[in-house]
């Protein structure tokens, strides 16, 4: 269902931007990401690591901008990679890596030029995820929805965003240890701090 919602949203945004071509802009964007995923739990439902050690990642992609006066709409479509580290036991840790396509749709409210408050839904489609040295079994949902909230600084063609991203609900994946056959579940929907820079290509 969430895949269909993302497709409908993309079609809607494309329609709105084409109708309001005089007010639109588009360009390239890239971000540094600090991500921390949810709990790592063993098959006996013991919490092995409550949050894990957050790690850095990145995203790259494109953005659009629809200017509506004091408010603007800025969707982004980006490819993301994130990394977190978990303690499986007292002597073993493992890296969790995830690749996804993300579609945040930010609504910007201009506060004091050139600063804006931004908020909006963030759709995530997971391409690949894995826990180091542990065999992947299944994931609850490939597509999830979260919330982006933060501030944007836009000067001429350059934009800088500082965003906090979090999911609305858990999205657990299951893994099996290659050596012990122990099974683990991990909440794959990360909490993220995202520092983005964008460059508008059209005038």
Q: Facing residues of 86 across strands? A: 94
**Four-CA torsion 61, 72, 123, 4, nearest 10 degrees:** -100
H helix runs in the chain, sequence order? 2-19
**What b/e sequence results for 12-49 when a residue is b if at least 16 CB atoms lie within 10 Å of its CB, and e otherwise?**
ebeeebeeeeeebbbbebebebbbbbbbbbeeeeeebb
Please tell me whether the peptide bond between 171 and the residue prior to it is cis, using omega within 30 degrees of 0. Answer: no
At residue 111, the pLDDT reads 92
pLDDT at position 32, please?
96
Task: Indicate the pTM of the whole model.
Answer: 0.83
The pLDDT of residue 20 = 60
Q: So what's the pLDDT on residue 16?
A: 54
pLDDT < 70 regions, the chain: 1-23, 90, 203
pLDDT confidence of residue 147:
94
Give pLDDT, residue 152. Answer: 96
The reported pLDDT for the residue numbered 107 is: 94
Across 157-186, b (16+ Cβ under 10 Å) vs e yields: eebebebebebeeebbbbbebeeeebbbbb
| Predicted pLDDT of residue 104 | 93
Predicted local distance difference test score (pLDDT) of residue 125: 87
């Amino acid at each position: 269902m969430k895949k269909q919602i993302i497709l409908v949203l993309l079609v809607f945004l494309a329609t709105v931007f084409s109708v309001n071509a005089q007010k639109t802009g588009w360009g390239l964007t890239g971000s540094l990401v600090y991500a921390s995923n949810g709990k790592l739990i063993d098959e006996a439902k013991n919490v092995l690591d409550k949050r894990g050690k957050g790690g850095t990642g990145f995203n790259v992609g494109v953005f659009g901008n629809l200017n509506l006066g004091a408010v603007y709409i800025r969707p982004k479509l980006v490819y993301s990679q994130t990394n977190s580290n978990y303690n499986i036991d007292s002597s073993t840790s493992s890296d969790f890596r995830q690749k996804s396509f993300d579609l945040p749709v930010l609504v910007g409210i201009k506060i004091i030029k050139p600063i804006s408050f931004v908020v909006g839904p963030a759709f995530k489609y997971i391409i690949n995820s894995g826990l180091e040295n542990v065999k992947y079994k299944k994931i609850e949902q490939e597509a999830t929805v979260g919330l982006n909230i933060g501030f944007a600084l836009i000067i001429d063609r350059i934009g800088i965003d500082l965003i906090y991203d979090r999911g609305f609900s858990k999205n657990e994946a299951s893994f099996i240890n290659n050596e012990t056959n122990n099974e683990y579940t991990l909440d794959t929907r990360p909490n993220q701090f995202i520092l983005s820079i964008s460059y508008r290509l059209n005038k």
